[in-house]
Amino acid sequence: MKILVVGGGGREHALVWKIAQSPRVQEIYCAPGNAGIQEHAQCVEIEAEDISGLLRFAKKNEIDLTVVGPEAPLVAGIVDLFQEAGLKIFGPTKRAAELEGSKDYSKRLMRRHAIPTADFNAFDNLERARGFLETSTFPTVVKADGLAAGKGVIICHTREEAFEAVKVIMQERAFGNAGNRVVIEEFMTGQEASVLMFVDRNTISPMPAAQDHKPIGEGDTGPNTGGMGAYSPTRFVHKRLEAQIEREILIPIVHAMNREDRPYSGVLYAGLMLTGEGAKVLEFNCRFGDPETQPLLMRMKSDIVDILLAVAEQKLEEVPPVEWDDRPAVCVVLASGGYPGSYTKGYPITGLKEANAVEGVVVFHAGTRMRGSSVITSGGRVLGVTALGDTLEQAIARCYEAVGKINFEGVTFRSDIAAKAI
């Protein structure tokens, strides 16, 4: 088979790394890829949002299956485009991807179908949003409605902070058109968890739970990022909670999408808050999470190509249950100094070979590219150092041992990934 992976981040490196292990695969292409991906695939200079260019490439190179990593091309309709051309592609259609593309739509869908989530209101007018905040209780959460690379969520502890958040999103346009509308929702407390599942409209195959660490700072402080680290499985999601999540969230959302004529196929990611009343949905994402994908695929024992192809062909029920390694995996993200704000690119990265030599470790590239024979930084999140261990403590130790061998100007990372689970 010839497979095309769309994207160039850590999630896509993990996907390419896992796909490359399949005996069914002869050639892998990745658009646009990165410095790490090129070790396993041929990188193609087509941006992930150039869906027409990707279609032309897939036709010309007779691609058997395209796997879409990022959310933007999904929301733009890449799946519809490929399917109309008779090409197999893994991911949801444009109408189904609105589940992530619009938080307002997602929240209203959950309200209509009684899927547990925080109470909310949405506004496309700055003054009306401010007026609502005048009578709100705090803390509260202000979210940009559209895609904001995981950064459009602001927790506000005071009315003044909320006013400023609405201004930043709607007036200053910090997240561009994603801020045409804001969602203001009830603040929930508890542990967060991520549960991803393979879906092919009618059949679901949940993956083990993971836990992301979105804030930039130790102890979950500072602004939100795309994710500073993750681990799987999380001890906070026990068997009884797993059953509640499947019964009240995973199965109902698939039925809801079918009833609203938006049948869902691909990976569906439920970001959850584990409250005293059970799990509630923070958000749905229409693709593999980043950095959750890195530890999850380290733990996957099955051939991922069998699963991806079955989903694309609507035959998931015919595939044997996915097998998972019982051992835990941890991913620590190394980011550029200044991220998630402004940062400088182009710094050489040292220690990659030494880090990859640590037992149980794979260093997944995100914001990297080649300059001559050197790997240099080219993004906010640069690397995802990921490790398997017999215990969570061992996985953490291996991960940070490898992190200690890598260096680049301004490197920053959290030293407490997975610590809350110990």
Residue 249 belongs to a domain with what CATH number? 3.30.470.20
The confidence band for 9, taking pLDDT boundaries of 50, 70 and 90, is very high
Q: What is the pLDDT of residues 277-323, one digit of tens each?
A: 999 999 999 999 999 999 999 999 999 999 999 999 999 999 999 99
Q: Which of 99, 22, 27, 7 is nearest to 297 (CA)?
A: 22
Q: What is the pLDDT of residues 103-125, one digit of tens each?
A: 999 999 999 999 999 999 999 99
Residue 150 has pLDDT above 80, yes or no: no
Calpha distance 261→366 (Å, rounded): 35
> Mean pLDDT of all residues in the chain?
96
Q: What is the pLDDT of residues 192-250, one digit of tens each?
A: 999 999 999 999 999 999 999 999 999 999 988 999 999 999 999 999 999 999 999 99
The last residue of one of the domains, among 297, 318, 339, is 318
336 with 295, same domain: the answer is: no
In a domain, 114, yes or no: no
75 with 138, same domain: the answer is: no
Token reading at 164: 């400023």
Cα 52 from chain centre: 24
DSSP category for residue 348: B
pLDDT of residue 123: 96
The last residue of one of the domains, among 318, 342, 359, is 318
Q: What is the CATH number of the domain that holds 130?
A: 3.30.1490.20
173 with 271, same domain: the answer is: no
168 with 247, same domain: the answer is: no
Average pLDDT value for residue range 320-334: 97
Q: What is the CATH number of the domain that holds 48?
A: 3.40.50.20
141 with 85, same domain: the answer is: no
Q: Which residue has the tokens 């997944």?
A: 364
| Count of domains forming the chain | 4
pLDDT of residue 161: 95
310 with 401, same domain: the answer is: no
In a domain, 157, yes or no: yes
pLDDT of residue 392: 97
pLDDT of residue 320: 95
φ/ψ of residue 119, rounded to 5 = -65, 155
Range of the domain at 69: 2-93
Three-state secondary structure call for residue 42 = strand
pLDDT of residue 149: 76
Q: What is the CATH number of the domain that holds 408?
A: 3.90.600.10
Average pLDDT value for residue range 328-348: 97
pLDDT of residue 255: 97
In a domain, 203, yes or no: yes
pLDDT of residue 422: 87
Is the bond preceding residue 340 a cis peptide, omega within 30 degrees? Answer: yes
Residue 151 has pLDDT above 80, yes or no: no
55 with 172, same domain: the answer is: no
The last residue of one of the domains, among 318, 344, 368, is 318
In a domain, 185, yes or no: no
312 with 245, same domain: the answer is: yes
Query: What's the Cα-to-Cα distance from 409 to each of 228, 333, 336, 377, rounded to whole Å?
Result: 18, 15, 8, 9
In a domain, 282, yes or no: yes
Token reading at 396: 């953490």
207 with 310, same domain: the answer is: yes
251 with 173, same domain: the answer is: no
In a domain, 102, yes or no: no
Cα 224 from chain centre: 14
Calpha distance 237→15 (Å, rounded): 25
Residue 148 has pLDDT above 90, yes or no: no
Please report, rounded to a whole number, the percentage of residues in the chain having pLDDT higher than 90. Answer: 97
Residue 180 has pLDDT above 80, yes or no: yes
pLDDT of residue 358: 98
Cα 87 from chain centre: 25
156 with 265, same domain: the answer is: no
Q: pTM of the full predicted structure?
A: 0.95
Q: What is the pLDDT of residues 381-413, one digit of tens each?
A: 999 999 999 999 999 999 999 999 999 999 999
